[in-house]
Structure 1
């Protein structure tokens, strides 16, 4: 089995039903990797920190998936599965910054985020909290978009991860992202197939360092989504560098534009390692 490429997962929650799929994936990943899972609620109103009983219950999922028996003590759950669940509530009027700060302070090296497709005006004024949180955290992030299918069955915890689409470009170095995505996928499904894609006229020079890369011509975002429709991936992996200019800030980076229309979860990974704290 591949070594787990993450050790501490951060899952922000607003306690809504739209957050359930992301929570299911966060819990399943924690169990698969024997990792800590930090479930974080950011309260914008002062003095209203969330009570423990408002947080979603990982134990109920572990029991439903037959990973533990009813009545097992919390300490025994951690010892058996290696997964430690931490519920945390903080106050901040800047939700994205609070999530980023918590991630940095607790060494979270994977975010699992619920997201939706905001309109252009919302993006211009504030943007998606999930996307902004991922940029501020400088860590890989798994996005579960409302309406898209996931790769974890919530009824039994089984993972369906047969095919992964990873677009690569000449402008964003993919090797660091590949170094995270490959063990991430292999840990969950050793036989998963990677479909590498480059949209452009010629293959990038690093093509021989990756599995076979398919070359397609056309508009980048539209072509990525066309290939996704053709092959039906269970996950899309995107190397990312964040926003480069004002146009990106308004319309979204290529990754964010793909995320809004993707038929499955999207795993983003920075093109460079996170800077060490000083």
Structure 2
């Protein structure tokens, strides 16, 4: 089982982003992922000879990209070329091929656009349910410092899940940032001590952060929790610029209604400034369990669980061990592994339950073995 099975990398044959290729190489090698490269040619009415020459150039350029990846022992599929709208085609291929991650170049804002993020990258972030990693042009490819802003929403919960996975995988320091926005009013009718009230609200914010993080396993992750005061998007950008963050991980809104086009005001304001390379997650995680429903072998699920356990995905590992017990309710190794995981998660009741269950089964098996040996002994005396 691979946690990150397939990466889709849209490229521009007229402006190949070397940082994007290096990022694909780094991530694919770390996760043993396969890379699919796509280029979308805009619709045009070209003369047949010109079209033939252009397609030859496109194919040669894509082959060079594939070759550069394969030289680094990265598995690649046959390059994909499409005609039409870039974003629609990229998303269609991403869905058809069930990719885990779209790895895009940041591009550039057009004309007088004050934003630094390119339009294709921004639309991919807005519309994709699949996580999107946008590589900032000119930024050195390293993942030593990961930052994940938290606002206690479901999108930030998903973002933190993925930030933890990436931090563990690349042995990076994870900065978990909470921005407390103080309450202010200029109305003379409202009379109270604003400073005192904000101190109280900030303490509530800190308590909520502690409660929020209790749902995650940060064991083995070098992490720091920081709570700052101010306007969220401004403080996030300021922290990135001052702290040398390599990778930002943020959640975007879900797929329903208008929210599909609005990624969330804070996320939108931050990523449009392109402070660093970033990952956005919406309804799916970077990792996905790709299991055939007909696969029933305990060994498969047990191996999957061990890999998930090592990656710090404890709840997902528990699900796999439980499948083992559904197949064979006397699978003692799964019971001991479950007990170990529940110990890590601080759930003593479940830990004791599975330890006792395993001990009981081993005791019964031992009794049966003794009984069998006694019966065989007396049978041999007859």
TM-score (norm 1): 0.73
- Report whether the alignment pairs 1:232 with 2:239: no
Match of 2:75 in 1: 83
- Describe the SS at the equivalent of 2:251: strand
Match of 1:140 in 2: 131
Task: Please give the residue correspondences for 1:30-69 in structure 2 after superposition, counting only pairs within 5 Å.
Answer: 30-45=28-43, 48=51, 50-51=55-56, 52-55=59-62, 56-60=64-68, 63=71, 67=72
Shift of 1:135: 3.5
Match of 1:25 in 2: 23
Task: Please give the residue correspondences for 1:184-223 in structure 2 after superposition, counting only pairs within 5 Å.
Answer: 184-187=166-169, 189-190=170-171, 192-200=172-180, 201=202, 202-203=205-206, 204=208, 205-210=211-216, 213-223=225-235
Cα gap change, 1:199 to 1:119, in 2 (>3 Å): farther
Cα contact 2:163–2:249 (8 A) shared by 1? yes
Cα contact 1:39–1:88 (8 A) shared by 2? yes
Shift of 1:248: 11
- Unpaired segments of 5 or more residues in structure 1? 68-80, 152-159
Cα contact 1:198–1:216 (8 A) shared by 2? yes
Task: Please give the residue correspondences for 1:254-269 in structure 2 after superposition, counting only pairs within 5 Å.
Answer: 254-269=266-281
Match of 1:164 in 2: 146
Cα contact 1:111–1:141 (8 A) shared by 2? yes
What is the alpha-carbon distance in structure 2 between the residues aligned to residue 261 and residue 12 of structure 1? 21
Q: Which has the larger radius of gyration?
A: 2
Shift of 1:245: 9.3
What is the alpha-carbon distance in structure 1 between the residues aligned to residue 108 and residue 231 of structure 2? 20
- Describe the SS at the equivalent of 1:118: coil
- Describe the SS at the equivalent of 1:97: helix
Cα gap change, 1:245 to 1:228, in 2 (>3 Å): farther
Cα contact 1:242–1:253 (8 A) shared by 2? no
Cα gap change, 1:252 to 1:109, in 2 (>3 Å): same
Task: Please give the residue correspondences for 1:239-250 in structure 2 after superposition, counting only pairs within 5 Å.
Answer: 239-241=251-253
Of 142, 145, 159, which residue of structure 2 is paired with 1:177?
Answer: 159
Greater RCO (CA < 8 Å, at least 6 residues apart) = 1
- Give the stretch that moved more between structures: 218-227 or 3-12: 3-12
What is the alpha-carbon distance in structure 1 between the residues aligned to residue 278 and residue 253 of structure 2? 15
- Describe the SS at the equivalent of 1:86: coil
- Describe the SS at the equivalent of 1:17: coil
What is the alpha-carbon distance in structure 2 between the residues aligned to residue 132 and residue 116 of structure 1? 12
Cα gap change, 1:273 to 1:262, in 2 (>3 Å): closer
Output one character per residue of 1:121-175: Cα deviation in whole Å (capped at 9) or x when no partner: 8699xx821121233331111111234x132xxxxxxxx3221111111344433
TM-score (norm 2): 0.55
Shift of 1:271: 5.1
Cα gap change, 1:7 to 1:53, in 2 (>3 Å): same
- Describe the SS at the equivalent of 1:99: helix
- Give the stretch that moved more between structures: 170-179 or 261-270: 170-179
- Unpaired segments of 5 or more residues in structure 2? 181-201, 219-223, 287-382
Cα contact 1:37–1:83 (8 A) shared by 2? yes
Cα contact 1:4–1:184 (8 A) shared by 2? no
What is the alpha-carbon distance in structure 2 between the residues aligned to residue 230 and residue 35 of structure 1? 33
Shift of 1:10: 0.7
CA RMSD, aligned part only? 3.5
Relative to its length, the structure with more strand (as a share) is 1
